[in-house]
Amino acid sequence: MKKLITIFTVLSLISCGNTFPEKRSFDKINSIEIENIHIKKNLNDSIVVDFSKNDIENFVNEINSSNKLELRKAIPNYWIFVKFKNGNERKFKLTDTYIGENDWYMKTRKTNLFQNIYIENQKSK
């Protein structure tokens, strides 16, 4: 009986080893394919701020430079929506020091830059 429990325990640990495979970087974004990017304070907020061309380039460079992501749960301070010309959309979450997509986050020093875009340019849609 002890052998059976030991075998079961070892098999359980081995099978759970790759439950969350490591993700190294976000999927790359081509800025030519972007229709617009906007930021909201809450997911269903009516106040929306569109990114300028310079802000879009900064955001794309930040996402494309991701090289180490962490799996984490977080309550975002802001949401960034990237809408592509083909109709697809990607949602990113901003916390104080992280940018994330689907619970994969990268640590960055540029979250204040994106948060300031919202604070300085609020408008209602």
Is 122's pLDDT higher than 80? no
Q: Return the pLDDT at 16.
A: 55
Q: Return the pLDDT at 123.
A: 57
Q: What is the mean pLDDT of residues 66-95?
A: 93
Condensed to tens digits (0 to 9), the pLDDT of residues 32-59 reads: 999 999 999 998 888 899 999 999 999 9
Q: What is d(CA 92, CA 60) in angstroms, rounded to the nearest whole number?
A: 12
Q: Return the pLDDT at 80.
A: 95
* Count of CB atoms situated within 10 Å of the CB of 92: 22
Q: What is the mean pLDDT of residues 77-104?
A: 95
Q: Specify burial of residue 118 (Cβ count, 10 A radius: 0-12, 13-18, 19+).
A: buried
Percent share of the chain, pLDDT over 70: 82
Percent share of the chain, pLDDT over 90: 53
| Token duo for residue 60 | 């794309």
Q: Return the pLDDT at 33.
A: 96
**Side-chain half-sphere of 65: how many Cα atoms within 13 Å?**
11
Q: What is the mean pLDDT of residues 103-110?
A: 91
DSSP assigned state of 47: B
Is the Cβ–Cβ distance between 39 and 78 less than 8 Å?
A: yes
